[in-house]
Amino acid sequence: MFKELDPILHSQLRLAVMSLLISVKEAEFTFIREQTNATAGNLSVQVQKLKDAGYIDVAKQFKDNYPQTTCKITPKGIEAFEAYVKALQQYLQVGKG
Amino acid sequence: METNEKELSTQESLQLIQSMINKTKNVVADDSFYFLLWGWLVFSCCLVQFYLKVYLEFPQHYYVWWLMPVGGIVSGIYGARQAKKIHVKSFVDESLDYLWIALGLSFIVLVTVNILSGRAWDTAFTYYIVLYAIGTFITGKLLRFKPLVIGGLSNFVIAIVSIKFRYEYQLLLGALAILTSYIIPGHLLRIRYLKQKH
């Protein structure tokens, strides 16, 4: 049986955000936007979805009077990401066979 | 990446994950400033103190070390300014922060012990050099930067050698240790950082 691919992660931008966050301690919204080439509006919506799913923590604070948003992956997010990668591998193996 | 609803194939998903992870590979802050600042500062202090003590026989030859708190202030200001510019923090950056905080505290403790006991100066530099060795070896390994690793290893050897020398000559060994573990790798690290950036 195929494992269902997690619909929250199986989306281009959300998967990109999670892949960036999996290998760093934390990243600012600006950094994620630069690396994914996404628009601020679209990225905000997707970040909110990941936050609602409990996959990332989002901290908003002020740095020199400018609002700054920092994102960090949660243990639940790491688990979901690993499960997603495992499911992908399963698909690939079946594809080969 | 305009649309978020584009259907991804398995291959595309894996490629996307890989390319994003690759983008975070080189996100390590430029630490060469600290190596160069402390390297040149300690190096100069060692040589000036040696000159004051051996050639001029100036009784307060150790006054040169009052430059260390100045280095601390400059480091603090630079660190605070950098923190504003950095938009991502890797696990390596975080580990290095804690390592150098612990080593900074160790230096303060050692200096305090030396001042309070009054008789530990014979081996003072031996222990300082061991601390340079620990710091630069671990940093080199975490940054995968060989010159720092080699500098660190060389300092373990210099630390052993230093025990055979009197305090004033330990100053020269201290200068040699800092040259091999901070100054040379610091300049090379700066070059590597600038290359990665462009």
Q: What is the rounded distance in angstroms from the CA atom of residue B119 to the CA atom of residue B72? A: 26
B20 and A25 within 8 Å at the Cβ level: the answer is no
Interface check A61 vs B, CB under 8 A: no
pLDDT tens digits for range B45-83: 999 999 999 999 988 888 999 999 999 999 999 998 888
What pTM does this model have?
0.84
Of the candidates B4, B14, B87, the beta carbon closest to that of A42 is on B4
Interface check B117 vs A, CB under 8 A: no
Q: What is the rounded distance in angstroms from the CA atom of residue A49 to the CA atom of residue A12? A: 13
A35 and B14 within 8 Å at the Cβ level: the answer is no
Of the candidates B3, B8, B24, the beta carbon closest to that of A24 is on B24
The C-alpha angle with vertex A86 and arms to A81 and A89, in degrees rounded to 5, equals 130
A12 and B4 within 8 Å at the Cβ level: the answer is yes
Name the β-bridge partners of B97.
none
Task: Indicate whether B103 pLDDT > 80.
Answer: yes
Residue B29, token pair as written in the block: 């802050």
Residues of chain B contacting A22 with CB distance shorter than 8 Å: 21
Interface check A37 vs B, CB under 8 A: yes
Interface check B160 vs A, CB under 8 A: no
State ipTM: 0.87
- Of A9-18, A64-73, B104-113, B118-127, the poorest mean pLDDT is in B118-127
B16 and A25 within 8 Å at the Cβ level: the answer is no
- Per-domain boundaries in chain B: 29-197
Average model confidence (pLDDT) across chain B: 90
Interface check A86 vs B, CB under 8 A: no
Phi and psi at B26, nearest 5°, equal -100, 15
Residues of chain A contacting B5 with CB distance shorter than 8 Å: 11
pLDDT tens digits for range B2-18: 444 567 888 899 999 99
Q: If pLDDT is split at 50, 70 and 90, which confidence band does B174 have?
A: very high
The C-alpha angle with vertex B179 and arms to B78 and B171, in degrees rounded to 5, equals 105
pLDDT tens digits for range B109-155: 998 998 888 777 788 899 999 999 999 999 999 999 999 999 999 99
Residues of chain B contacting A19 with CB distance shorter than 8 Å: 16-17, 20-21
> Mind listing the domains of chain A with CATH numbers?
12-96 (1.10.10.10)
The residue behind tokens 């040696």 is B50
